[in-house]
Structure 1
Amino acid sequence: MIRMSQSTTPRHGPPAAPLPQRKTAAQGPRVLKEVRKHRSFASLRAITALILREVQTSNGRASGGYFWAVAEPAGGIMLLTLIFSVTFALPPIGTSFAMFYATGMVPFLGYMDISNKVASSVRYSMALLSYPAVTFMDALLARIAFNAITQVMVATVIFTAIMMTSETRTDPQMDLIAIGLAMMILTGAAIGVMNCFLFEAVSWWQPLWAIFMKPFFLLSCIFFMFDDVPQPYQDWLWWNPLIHVIGQMRRSFYPQYAGEYVSYTYVFGLGLGLFALGLALLVRYHRDLQNS
Protein backbone atom coordinates (compact mmCIF):
# COMPACT_ATOMS: atom_id res chain seq x y z
CA MET A 1 0.00 0.00 0.00
CA ILE A 2 1.43 3.26 -1.05
CA ARG A 3 1.18 6.10 1.40
CA MET A 4 0.73 9.56 0.07
CA SER A 5 3.45 11.93 1.17
CA GLN A 6 2.27 14.61 3.58
CA SER A 7 2.55 18.15 2.37
CA THR A 8 4.91 20.44 4.22
CA THR A 9 2.38 23.22 3.90
CA PRO A 10 0.65 23.99 7.23
CA ARG A 11 -2.87 22.83 7.54
CA HIS A 12 -4.34 26.22 8.05
CA GLY A 13 -2.55 27.89 5.19
CA PRO A 14 0.17 30.50 5.15
CA PRO A 15 0.45 33.08 7.95
CA ALA A 16 -1.65 36.18 7.62
CA ALA A 17 -0.01 38.96 5.70
CA PRO A 18 0.70 42.22 7.58
CA LEU A 19 -1.66 45.12 7.14
CA PRO A 20 -0.98 47.15 4.05
CA GLN A 21 1.49 49.96 4.66
CA ARG A 22 -0.84 52.56 3.27
CA LYS A 23 -3.41 51.94 6.05
CA THR A 24 -0.79 52.22 8.76
CA ALA A 25 0.54 55.41 7.21
CA ALA A 26 -2.99 56.77 7.02
CA GLN A 27 -3.55 56.09 10.70
CA GLY A 28 -0.35 57.89 11.73
CA PRO A 29 -1.50 61.47 11.04
CA ARG A 30 -4.83 60.78 12.70
CA VAL A 31 -3.15 59.52 15.86
CA LEU A 32 -0.74 62.46 15.84
CA LYS A 33 -3.63 64.85 15.34
CA GLU A 34 -5.50 63.35 18.30
CA VAL A 35 -2.40 63.64 20.51
CA ARG A 36 -1.90 67.28 19.55
CA LYS A 37 -5.57 68.02 20.14
CA HIS A 38 -5.38 66.41 23.57
CA ARG A 39 -2.25 68.37 24.46
CA SER A 40 -3.77 71.65 23.24
CA PHE A 41 -6.91 71.04 25.28
CA ALA A 42 -4.86 70.17 28.37
CA SER A 43 -2.75 73.31 27.89
CA LEU A 44 -5.87 75.45 27.49
CA ARG A 45 -7.30 74.04 30.70
CA ALA A 46 -4.02 74.72 32.53
CA ILE A 47 -3.88 78.32 31.25
CA THR A 48 -7.51 78.90 32.25
CA ALA A 49 -6.85 77.50 35.72
CA LEU A 50 -3.78 79.71 36.11
CA ILE A 51 -5.75 82.80 35.03
CA LEU A 52 -8.45 82.00 37.60
CA ARG A 53 -5.68 81.61 40.16
CA GLU A 54 -4.40 85.07 39.23
CA VAL A 55 -7.89 86.51 39.67
CA GLN A 56 -8.22 84.96 43.12
CA THR A 57 -4.75 85.99 44.31
CA SER A 58 -5.00 89.59 43.01
CA ASN A 59 -6.26 91.38 46.13
CA GLY A 60 -8.16 88.21 46.88
CA ARG A 61 -8.21 88.87 50.64
CA ALA A 62 -9.58 92.38 50.26
CA SER A 63 -13.28 93.06 50.00
CA GLY A 64 -14.04 93.46 46.30
CA GLY A 65 -11.35 91.04 45.12
CA TYR A 66 -10.37 91.58 41.49
CA PHE A 67 -12.08 94.99 41.48
CA TRP A 68 -9.04 96.43 43.26
CA ALA A 69 -6.68 95.02 40.63
CA VAL A 70 -8.27 97.55 38.24
CA ALA A 71 -9.26 100.27 40.72
CA GLU A 72 -5.87 100.56 42.43
CA PRO A 73 -3.74 101.48 39.37
CA ALA A 74 -6.60 103.48 37.83
CA GLY A 75 -7.10 105.46 41.04
CA GLY A 76 -3.37 106.06 41.44
CA ILE A 77 -2.99 107.39 37.91
CA MET A 78 -6.07 109.60 38.25
CA LEU A 79 -4.78 111.03 41.53
CA LEU A 80 -1.38 111.83 39.99
CA THR A 81 -3.17 113.31 36.98
CA LEU A 82 -5.19 115.60 39.25
CA ILE A 83 -2.08 116.73 41.14
CA PHE A 84 -0.08 117.49 38.00
CA SER A 85 -3.08 119.19 36.41
CA VAL A 86 -2.96 121.80 39.18
CA THR A 87 0.81 122.26 38.81
CA PHE A 88 0.87 122.46 35.00
CA ALA A 89 -1.87 124.67 33.61
CA LEU A 90 -1.38 124.20 29.86
CA PRO A 91 -0.15 120.98 28.22
CA PRO A 92 2.19 120.99 25.20
CA ILE A 93 -0.72 119.75 23.06
CA GLY A 94 -4.47 120.12 23.51
CA THR A 95 -6.24 121.94 26.33
CA SER A 96 -6.42 119.29 29.07
CA PHE A 97 -3.26 118.43 30.94
CA ALA A 98 -5.10 115.51 32.56
CA MET A 99 -5.62 113.87 29.17
CA PHE A 100 -2.10 114.71 28.00
CA TYR A 101 -0.58 113.23 31.14
CA ALA A 102 -2.84 110.13 30.99
CA THR A 103 -1.86 109.37 27.39
CA GLY A 104 1.73 109.10 28.59
CA MET A 105 1.27 107.57 32.02
CA VAL A 106 -1.24 104.85 31.11
CA PRO A 107 0.95 103.07 28.50
CA PHE A 108 4.09 103.55 30.62
CA LEU A 109 2.64 102.01 33.78
CA GLY A 110 0.87 99.36 31.71
CA TYR A 111 4.19 98.33 30.21
CA MET A 112 5.85 98.30 33.64
CA ASP A 113 3.13 96.15 35.19
CA ILE A 114 3.04 93.60 32.36
CA SER A 115 6.83 93.29 32.09
CA ASN A 116 7.31 92.91 35.86
CA LYS A 117 4.51 90.35 36.25
CA VAL A 118 5.62 88.28 33.24
CA ALA A 119 9.26 88.37 34.39
CA SER A 120 8.29 86.70 37.66
CA SER A 121 5.76 84.26 36.18
CA VAL A 122 7.98 81.14 36.30
CA ARG A 123 9.19 81.92 39.81
CA TYR A 124 5.61 82.64 40.92
CA SER A 125 4.35 79.29 39.56
CA MET A 126 7.44 77.24 40.42
CA ALA A 127 5.53 74.90 42.74
CA LEU A 128 2.97 74.13 40.03
CA LEU A 129 5.59 73.43 37.37
CA SER A 130 6.45 70.15 39.09
CA TYR A 131 3.16 68.75 37.78
CA PRO A 132 3.32 67.31 34.24
CA ALA A 133 0.08 69.05 33.25
CA VAL A 134 1.56 72.54 33.82
CA THR A 135 4.42 73.91 31.73
CA PHE A 136 6.35 77.15 31.94
CA MET A 137 4.62 78.22 28.70
CA ASP A 138 1.24 77.91 30.43
CA ALA A 139 2.47 80.13 33.26
CA LEU A 140 3.79 82.75 30.82
CA LEU A 141 0.66 82.85 28.65
CA ALA A 142 -1.64 82.99 31.68
CA ARG A 143 0.16 86.00 33.15
CA ILE A 144 0.37 87.78 29.81
CA ALA A 145 -3.36 87.29 29.18
CA PHE A 146 -4.44 88.25 32.70
CA ASN A 147 -2.34 91.40 32.98
CA ALA A 148 -3.04 92.49 29.40
CA ILE A 149 -6.80 92.35 30.05
CA THR A 150 -6.34 94.18 33.35
CA GLN A 151 -4.33 97.00 31.78
CA VAL A 152 -6.84 97.42 28.94
CA MET A 153 -9.58 97.78 31.58
CA VAL A 154 -7.46 100.30 33.51
CA ALA A 155 -6.93 102.37 30.36
CA THR A 156 -10.65 102.25 29.56
CA VAL A 157 -11.62 103.44 33.06
CA ILE A 158 -9.07 106.28 33.10
CA PHE A 159 -9.73 107.69 29.63
CA THR A 160 -13.50 107.40 30.03
CA ALA A 161 -13.43 109.15 33.42
CA ILE A 162 -11.30 112.03 32.13
CA MET A 163 -13.47 112.56 29.05
CA MET A 164 -16.66 112.51 31.13
CA THR A 165 -15.41 114.93 33.80
CA SER A 166 -13.51 117.52 31.75
CA GLU A 167 -13.44 119.23 28.39
CA THR A 168 -10.53 117.57 26.59
CA ARG A 169 -11.27 118.57 23.00
CA THR A 170 -9.89 115.27 21.76
CA ASP A 171 -11.14 112.92 19.06
CA PRO A 172 -10.29 109.34 20.11
CA GLN A 173 -9.60 107.00 17.20
CA MET A 174 -10.40 103.50 18.41
CA ASP A 175 -8.35 101.69 15.78
CA LEU A 176 -5.24 103.73 16.63
CA ILE A 177 -5.84 103.25 20.36
CA ALA A 178 -6.05 99.48 19.80
CA ILE A 179 -2.69 99.57 17.98
CA GLY A 180 -1.17 101.59 20.83
CA LEU A 181 -2.41 99.09 23.41
CA ALA A 182 -1.10 96.20 21.29
CA MET A 183 2.32 97.91 21.15
CA MET A 184 2.26 98.35 24.94
CA ILE A 185 1.28 94.71 25.58
CA LEU A 186 3.84 93.27 23.15
CA THR A 187 6.67 95.43 24.49
CA GLY A 188 5.86 94.54 28.09
CA ALA A 189 5.47 90.83 27.31
CA ALA A 190 8.71 90.70 25.29
CA ILE A 191 10.79 92.43 27.97
CA GLY A 192 9.09 90.28 30.60
CA VAL A 193 9.84 86.99 28.83
CA MET A 194 13.46 88.00 28.30
CA ASN A 195 13.83 89.01 31.94
CA CYS A 196 12.06 85.82 33.03
CA PHE A 197 15.13 83.97 31.83
CA LEU A 198 17.74 86.55 32.87
CA PHE A 199 16.38 86.99 36.43
CA GLU A 200 16.82 83.26 37.05
CA ALA A 201 20.05 82.76 35.08
CA VAL A 202 21.96 85.86 36.27
CA SER A 203 21.58 86.68 39.96
CA TRP A 204 22.68 90.32 39.68
CA TRP A 205 20.53 91.22 36.66
CA GLN A 206 17.28 91.92 38.55
CA PRO A 207 18.65 94.70 40.84
CA LEU A 208 20.64 96.12 37.92
CA TRP A 209 17.51 96.19 35.76
CA ALA A 210 15.60 98.00 38.53
CA ILE A 211 18.29 100.69 38.60
CA PHE A 212 18.33 100.89 34.81
CA MET A 213 14.55 101.46 34.64
CA LYS A 214 14.45 104.35 37.14
CA PRO A 215 15.23 107.15 34.65
CA PHE A 216 12.83 105.76 32.04
CA PHE A 217 10.01 107.62 33.79
CA LEU A 218 11.63 110.84 32.57
CA LEU A 219 13.09 109.46 29.33
CA SER A 220 9.78 108.25 27.90
CA CYS A 221 8.28 111.70 27.16
CA ILE A 222 5.46 111.51 29.69
CA PHE A 223 5.66 115.22 30.64
CA PHE A 224 6.92 116.63 27.36
CA MET A 225 6.79 116.03 23.62
CA PHE A 226 9.40 114.03 21.77
CA ASP A 227 9.34 116.68 19.04
CA ASP A 228 10.64 119.29 21.52
CA VAL A 229 13.78 117.30 22.44
CA PRO A 230 16.86 118.87 20.84
CA GLN A 231 19.42 116.98 18.79
CA PRO A 232 21.37 114.78 19.26
CA TYR A 233 19.29 113.63 22.26
CA GLN A 234 16.23 113.11 20.07
CA ASP A 235 18.06 110.52 17.98
CA TRP A 236 19.17 108.70 21.12
CA LEU A 237 15.68 108.70 22.67
CA TRP A 238 14.19 107.32 19.47
CA TRP A 239 15.58 103.87 20.33
CA ASN A 240 13.44 103.74 23.46
CA PRO A 241 10.37 101.71 22.36
CA LEU A 242 8.20 103.46 24.96
CA ILE A 243 8.67 106.69 23.00
CA HIS A 244 6.82 105.08 20.11
CA VAL A 245 4.13 103.54 22.33
CA ILE A 246 3.36 106.86 24.03
CA GLY A 247 3.56 108.74 20.72
CA GLN A 248 1.07 106.31 19.20
CA MET A 249 -1.32 106.77 22.12
CA ARG A 250 -1.13 110.55 21.88
CA ARG A 251 -1.81 110.75 18.20
CA SER A 252 -4.74 108.39 18.79
CA PHE A 253 -6.43 111.12 20.88
CA TYR A 254 -5.05 114.17 19.09
CA PRO A 255 -5.64 113.78 15.32
CA GLN A 256 -3.80 117.06 14.68
CA TYR A 257 -0.63 115.50 16.11
CA ALA A 258 1.21 113.66 13.32
CA GLY A 259 3.76 111.73 15.39
CA GLU A 260 5.78 110.87 12.30
CA TYR A 261 8.58 109.39 14.39
CA VAL A 262 6.38 106.49 15.54
CA SER A 263 7.61 103.28 13.87
CA TYR A 264 5.40 100.19 13.92
CA THR A 265 8.19 98.20 12.29
CA TYR A 266 10.66 98.98 15.06
CA VAL A 267 8.31 98.30 17.98
CA PHE A 268 6.70 95.13 16.64
CA GLY A 269 9.99 93.85 15.21
CA LEU A 270 11.86 94.44 18.47
CA GLY A 271 9.01 92.99 20.52
CA LEU A 272 8.66 89.82 18.48
CA GLY A 273 12.43 89.36 18.31
CA LEU A 274 12.93 89.67 22.08
CA PHE A 275 9.90 87.47 22.73
CA ALA A 276 11.25 84.74 20.44
CA LEU A 277 14.77 84.97 21.91
CA GLY A 278 13.55 84.83 25.51
CA LEU A 279 11.24 81.95 24.70
CA ALA A 280 14.03 80.01 22.98
CA LEU A 281 16.30 80.47 26.02
CA LEU A 282 13.54 79.32 28.37
CA VAL A 283 12.81 76.25 26.23
CA ARG A 284 16.49 75.34 26.30
CA TYR A 285 17.29 76.05 29.95
CA HIS A 286 14.02 76.05 31.89
CA ARG A 287 14.67 72.66 33.50
CA ASP A 288 18.13 73.76 34.64
CA LEU A 289 16.61 76.94 36.09
CA GLN A 290 13.91 74.96 37.93
CA ASN A 291 16.48 72.62 39.45
CA SER A 292 18.95 75.35 40.41
Structure 2
Amino acid sequence: MAKVKSRSTLQVWGDVIFAIFLREIKSKFNDKVGISWAVISPVTFIFALSLMRNTLSGGRDVHGMSTFLFMMIGMTSIQFFLGTMQSAANAIKKSRPLFSFRQVQPISAILAITGLEFLIKLFVVIVLGVISYLFRFDITIYDPLEIIFNLVKLWLIAVSIGTIFAIGYSFIPELNKIVEIMTRPLFFISGTFMSLQDIPEKYWCYLTWNPILHVIELTRYAAVPQYGNAGVSNFYVNVVTLVCVSFALSCYHVSWKQAISR
Protein backbone atom coordinates (compact mmCIF):
# COMPACT_ATOMS: atom_id res chain seq x y z
CA MET A 1 0.00 0.00 0.00
CA ALA A 2 1.32 3.41 -0.93
CA LYS A 3 2.21 5.60 2.00
CA VAL A 4 0.53 8.99 2.09
CA LYS A 5 2.98 11.73 2.97
CA SER A 6 1.43 14.57 4.92
CA ARG A 7 2.67 18.11 4.33
CA SER A 8 2.37 21.20 6.44
CA THR A 9 0.48 24.26 5.25
CA LEU A 10 3.77 26.07 4.71
CA GLN A 11 5.12 23.22 2.55
CA VAL A 12 1.95 23.17 0.45
CA TRP A 13 2.15 26.94 0.01
CA GLY A 14 5.81 26.70 -1.05
CA ASP A 15 5.04 23.94 -3.56
CA VAL A 16 2.18 25.97 -5.04
CA ILE A 17 4.38 29.06 -5.43
CA PHE A 18 7.14 26.99 -7.03
CA ALA A 19 4.69 25.32 -9.44
CA ILE A 20 3.25 28.70 -10.52
CA PHE A 21 6.82 30.02 -10.82
CA LEU A 22 7.73 27.19 -13.25
CA ARG A 23 4.48 27.74 -15.15
CA GLU A 24 5.28 31.44 -15.51
CA ILE A 25 8.79 30.68 -16.80
CA LYS A 26 7.39 28.35 -19.47
CA SER A 27 4.72 30.83 -20.57
CA LYS A 28 7.07 33.82 -20.54
CA PHE A 29 9.93 32.13 -22.37
CA ASN A 30 8.09 29.75 -24.67
CA ASP A 31 10.11 30.73 -27.77
CA LYS A 32 13.80 30.68 -28.67
CA VAL A 33 14.40 34.38 -28.08
CA GLY A 34 12.21 34.74 -24.97
CA ILE A 35 14.95 34.57 -22.33
CA SER A 36 17.44 36.52 -24.46
CA TRP A 37 14.94 39.27 -25.25
CA ALA A 38 14.10 39.75 -21.56
CA VAL A 39 17.74 40.82 -21.11
CA ILE A 40 18.58 42.34 -24.52
CA SER A 41 15.62 44.75 -24.52
CA PRO A 42 16.38 46.61 -21.24
CA VAL A 43 20.16 46.47 -21.80
CA THR A 44 19.83 48.03 -25.27
CA PHE A 45 17.44 50.68 -23.95
CA ILE A 46 19.79 51.63 -21.12
CA PHE A 47 22.82 51.83 -23.43
CA ALA A 48 20.94 54.00 -25.95
CA LEU A 49 19.74 56.45 -23.30
CA SER A 50 23.17 56.51 -21.63
CA LEU A 51 24.79 57.39 -24.94
CA MET A 52 22.19 60.12 -25.52
CA ARG A 53 22.68 61.59 -22.04
CA ASN A 54 26.48 61.38 -22.40
CA THR A 55 26.33 63.25 -25.71
CA LEU A 56 24.05 65.96 -24.36
CA SER A 57 26.22 66.49 -21.27
CA GLY A 58 29.43 66.63 -23.32
CA GLY A 59 30.89 63.57 -21.62
CA ARG A 60 30.88 65.19 -18.18
CA ASP A 61 30.09 63.21 -15.03
CA VAL A 62 26.78 63.71 -13.24
CA HIS A 63 27.64 65.10 -9.79
CA GLY A 64 30.74 62.90 -9.52
CA MET A 65 29.08 59.81 -11.05
CA SER A 66 29.72 58.44 -14.53
CA THR A 67 26.86 59.00 -16.97
CA PHE A 68 26.52 55.29 -17.69
CA LEU A 69 26.20 54.35 -14.01
CA PHE A 70 23.81 57.26 -13.42
CA MET A 71 21.51 56.14 -16.24
CA MET A 72 21.89 52.44 -15.46
CA ILE A 73 20.66 52.89 -11.88
CA GLY A 74 17.79 55.15 -12.94
CA MET A 75 16.56 53.06 -15.87
CA THR A 76 16.99 49.70 -14.13
CA SER A 77 15.10 50.92 -11.05
CA ILE A 78 12.13 52.42 -12.90
CA GLN A 79 11.84 49.41 -15.23
CA PHE A 80 12.06 47.12 -12.23
CA PHE A 81 9.30 49.01 -10.41
CA LEU A 82 6.93 49.23 -13.37
CA GLY A 83 7.52 45.64 -14.47
CA THR A 84 6.94 44.27 -10.98
CA MET A 85 3.86 46.41 -10.37
CA GLN A 86 2.27 45.43 -13.68
CA SER A 87 3.07 41.76 -13.13
CA ALA A 88 1.44 41.86 -9.69
CA ALA A 89 -1.56 43.81 -11.01
CA ASN A 90 -2.24 41.19 -13.70
CA ALA A 91 -1.45 38.15 -11.54
CA ILE A 92 -5.01 37.43 -10.37
CA LYS A 93 -6.49 37.78 -13.86
CA LYS A 94 -3.71 35.70 -15.42
CA SER A 95 -3.95 32.86 -12.89
CA ARG A 96 -7.74 32.81 -12.46
CA PRO A 97 -8.16 29.22 -13.86
CA LEU A 98 -5.84 27.93 -11.13
CA PHE A 99 -8.04 29.20 -8.32
CA SER A 100 -10.42 26.29 -8.84
CA PHE A 101 -7.85 24.27 -6.89
CA ARG A 102 -8.30 24.75 -3.17
CA GLN A 103 -4.57 25.00 -2.46
CA VAL A 104 -4.02 27.89 -4.88
CA GLN A 105 -4.65 31.40 -3.58
CA PRO A 106 -4.03 34.74 -5.31
CA ILE A 107 -1.13 35.65 -3.01
CA SER A 108 0.76 32.58 -4.28
CA ALA A 109 0.38 33.72 -7.89
CA ILE A 110 1.44 37.28 -7.02
CA LEU A 111 4.59 36.15 -5.18
CA ALA A 112 5.57 33.65 -7.89
CA ILE A 113 5.11 36.08 -10.79
CA THR A 114 6.77 39.05 -9.09
CA GLY A 115 9.56 36.81 -7.81
CA LEU A 116 10.36 35.87 -11.41
CA GLU A 117 10.37 39.56 -12.31
CA PHE A 118 12.87 40.19 -9.52
CA LEU A 119 15.19 37.44 -10.79
CA ILE A 120 15.00 38.71 -14.38
CA LYS A 121 15.98 42.23 -13.36
CA LEU A 122 18.76 40.84 -11.15
CA PHE A 123 20.11 38.97 -14.15
CA VAL A 124 19.90 42.18 -16.22
CA VAL A 125 22.00 43.99 -13.59
CA ILE A 126 24.59 41.17 -13.68
CA VAL A 127 24.76 41.35 -17.48
CA LEU A 128 25.20 45.13 -17.32
CA GLY A 129 27.99 44.66 -14.79
CA VAL A 130 29.77 42.14 -17.04
CA ILE A 131 29.42 44.43 -20.07
CA SER A 132 30.78 47.35 -18.03
CA TYR A 133 33.78 45.26 -17.03
CA LEU A 134 34.46 44.07 -20.58
CA PHE A 135 34.25 47.60 -22.00
CA ARG A 136 36.29 48.93 -19.06
CA PHE A 137 33.76 51.50 -17.95
CA ASP A 138 34.79 53.40 -14.85
CA ILE A 139 32.27 51.92 -12.41
CA THR A 140 32.92 51.44 -8.70
CA ILE A 141 30.20 50.43 -6.24
CA TYR A 142 30.82 51.69 -2.71
CA ASP A 143 28.01 49.97 -0.74
CA PRO A 144 26.44 47.06 -2.68
CA LEU A 145 24.54 45.82 0.38
CA GLU A 146 22.67 49.11 0.69
CA ILE A 147 21.82 48.94 -3.01
CA ILE A 148 20.30 45.47 -2.50
CA PHE A 149 18.23 46.74 0.45
CA ASN A 150 16.96 49.64 -1.69
CA LEU A 151 15.94 47.28 -4.50
CA VAL A 152 14.13 44.99 -2.04
CA LYS A 153 12.19 47.96 -0.66
CA LEU A 154 11.35 49.08 -4.19
CA TRP A 155 10.17 45.54 -4.96
CA LEU A 156 7.95 45.51 -1.86
CA ILE A 157 6.39 48.84 -2.79
CA ALA A 158 5.76 47.66 -6.36
CA VAL A 159 4.25 44.34 -5.23
CA SER A 160 2.03 46.10 -2.69
CA ILE A 161 0.69 48.66 -5.17
CA GLY A 162 0.30 45.94 -7.80
CA THR A 163 -1.67 43.78 -5.37
CA ILE A 164 -4.07 46.64 -4.68
CA PHE A 165 -4.53 47.17 -8.41
CA ALA A 166 -5.01 43.42 -8.96
CA ILE A 167 -7.92 43.42 -6.51
CA GLY A 168 -9.28 46.58 -8.12
CA TYR A 169 -9.09 45.01 -11.60
CA SER A 170 -11.26 42.13 -10.36
CA PHE A 171 -14.08 44.53 -9.48
CA ILE A 172 -13.48 47.22 -12.15
CA PRO A 173 -11.66 45.78 -15.20
CA GLU A 174 -11.51 49.19 -16.89
CA LEU A 175 -9.26 50.44 -14.08
CA ASN A 176 -6.19 49.19 -15.95
CA LYS A 177 -6.56 51.95 -18.57
CA ILE A 178 -6.45 54.61 -15.86
CA VAL A 179 -3.42 52.97 -14.22
CA GLU A 180 -1.50 52.93 -17.52
CA ILE A 181 -2.05 56.67 -17.93
CA MET A 182 -1.09 57.38 -14.31
CA THR A 183 2.18 55.41 -14.43
CA ARG A 184 3.58 56.93 -17.63
CA PRO A 185 4.80 60.18 -15.97
CA LEU A 186 6.88 58.14 -13.51
CA PHE A 187 9.69 57.96 -16.08
CA PHE A 188 10.05 61.74 -15.91
CA ILE A 189 9.35 62.53 -12.23
CA SER A 190 11.41 59.75 -10.61
CA GLY A 191 14.90 61.07 -11.30
CA THR A 192 15.50 58.63 -14.13
CA PHE A 193 17.01 61.08 -16.62
CA MET A 194 18.13 63.87 -14.31
CA SER A 195 19.21 64.26 -10.72
CA LEU A 196 17.10 65.96 -8.08
CA GLN A 197 20.14 68.23 -7.57
CA ASP A 198 19.67 69.58 -11.10
CA ILE A 199 16.29 71.01 -10.12
CA PRO A 200 15.98 74.23 -8.08
CA GLU A 201 15.39 73.42 -4.42
CA LYS A 202 12.15 75.41 -4.28
CA TYR A 203 10.55 72.82 -6.61
CA TRP A 204 11.67 69.75 -4.64
CA CYS A 205 8.42 69.68 -2.66
CA TYR A 206 6.56 68.77 -5.86
CA LEU A 207 8.77 65.74 -6.50
CA THR A 208 9.92 64.35 -3.16
CA TRP A 209 6.52 62.80 -2.36
CA ASN A 210 7.54 60.12 -4.87
CA PRO A 211 9.27 57.20 -3.05
CA ILE A 212 10.76 55.91 -6.32
CA LEU A 213 12.74 59.14 -6.62
CA HIS A 214 14.10 58.61 -3.10
CA VAL A 215 15.08 55.01 -3.86
CA ILE A 216 16.87 55.92 -7.10
CA GLU A 217 18.77 58.83 -5.56
CA LEU A 218 19.69 56.82 -2.45
CA THR A 219 20.91 53.96 -4.65
CA ARG A 220 23.13 56.35 -6.59
CA TYR A 221 24.42 57.71 -3.29
CA ALA A 222 25.16 54.16 -2.08
CA ALA A 223 27.08 53.48 -5.28
CA VAL A 224 29.04 56.76 -5.28
CA PRO A 225 29.01 58.71 -1.98
CA GLN A 226 30.33 61.83 -3.75
CA TYR A 227 26.99 62.00 -5.55
CA GLY A 228 25.27 63.13 -2.33
CA ASN A 229 21.80 62.49 -0.91
CA ALA A 230 20.36 65.97 -0.74
CA GLY A 231 16.58 66.10 -0.56
CA VAL A 232 15.98 62.37 -0.10
CA SER A 233 15.43 60.28 3.02
CA ASN A 234 15.92 56.61 3.80
CA PHE A 235 13.44 56.96 6.69
CA TYR A 236 10.75 58.16 4.27
CA VAL A 237 11.30 55.10 2.04
CA ASN A 238 11.05 52.78 5.04
CA VAL A 239 7.80 54.38 6.20
CA VAL A 240 6.26 54.26 2.70
CA THR A 241 7.30 50.61 2.32
CA LEU A 242 5.72 49.68 5.65
CA VAL A 243 2.51 51.58 4.89
CA CYS A 244 2.18 50.10 1.39
CA VAL A 245 2.77 46.52 2.56
CA SER A 246 0.35 46.90 5.49
CA PHE A 247 -2.38 48.49 3.38
CA ALA A 248 -1.99 45.90 0.58
CA LEU A 249 -2.19 42.99 3.01
CA SER A 250 -5.27 44.50 4.65
CA CYS A 251 -7.03 44.96 1.29
CA TYR A 252 -6.06 41.46 0.24
CA HIS A 253 -7.26 39.87 3.49
CA VAL A 254 -10.63 41.61 3.26
CA SER A 255 -11.45 41.06 -0.41
CA TRP A 256 -9.44 38.24 -2.01
CA LYS A 257 -12.31 35.73 -1.87
CA GLN A 258 -14.73 38.16 -3.49
CA ALA A 259 -12.08 39.07 -6.09
CA ILE A 260 -11.59 35.53 -7.37
CA SER A 261 -15.31 34.73 -7.32
CA ARG A 262 -16.25 37.51 -9.73
Alignment of 1:70 onto 2:70: no
Number of positions where the alignment pairs a residue of Structure 1 with one of Structure 2: 257
- Segments of 5+ residues of structure 1 without an aligned counterpart are 1-34
- The answer to whether the 8 A contact 2:43-2:124 is kept is yes
Alignment of 1:1-292 (within 5 A): 38-61=8-31, 63=32, 65-89=34-58, 90-94=60-64, 96-168=66-138, 170-292=140-262
Structure 2: how far apart are the matches of 1:171 and 1:145? 25
Contact 2:218 2:234 in 1 (8 A): no
Deviation at 1:210, TM superposition (A): 1.4
Once the two structures are TM-superposed, the CA of residue 290 in structure 1 deviates from its matched residue by 2.0
Q: CA deviation at 1:95?
A: 5.9
**Kept in 1: contact 2:65–2:227 (CA 8 A):** no
CA contact (8 A) 1:197 1:282 kept: yes
1:125, 1:195 → 2: CA distance?
15
In structure 2, the CA distance between the partners of 1:282 and 1:171, relative to structure 1 (3 Å rule), is: closer
Structure-1 separation of matches of 2:113 and 2:95: 10
Alignment RMSD? 2.3
Contact 2:169/2:176, CA 8 A, preserved across alignment: yes
After superposition, what is the alpha-carbon deviation per residue over 1:167-224, rounded to whole angstroms, capped at 9, x for unaligned? 3253442112212222221221122112112222334432122111222211111222
* Richer in helix (by share): 2
Conserved? CA contact 1:194–1:278, under 8 Å: yes
Q: Using CA pairs below 8 Å that are at least 6 residues apart, which structure has the higher relative contact order?
A: 2
Any conservation in 2 of the 1:91–1:97 contact (CA below 8 Å)?
A: yes
Does structure 1 retain, via aligned residues, the 8 Å contact 2:73–2:219?
yes
Deviations 1:232-254 (A, max 9, x none): 32012111011111112211221
Q: 2: CA distance between counterparts of 1:171 and 1:189?
A: 27
Q: TM-score, normalised by structure 2?
A: 0.88
Instruction: Say which SS state the counterpart of residue 60 (structure 1) adopts.
Output: coil
Unmatched 5+ stretches in structure 2: 1-5
How much does 1:98 deviate?
1.7
Which structure has the larger Rg over C-alpha atoms? Answer: 1
1:166 CA displacement: 4.0
Question: Residue 3 of structure 2 corresponds to which residue in structure 1?
Answer: none
SS of the residue corresponding to residue 227 of structure 2 reads coil
Amino acid across the alignment from 1:214: R
* Identity over aligned pairs, percent: 23
**Residues 167 and 110 (structure 1 numbering): CA distance in 2 closer, same or farther, change over 3 Å?**
same
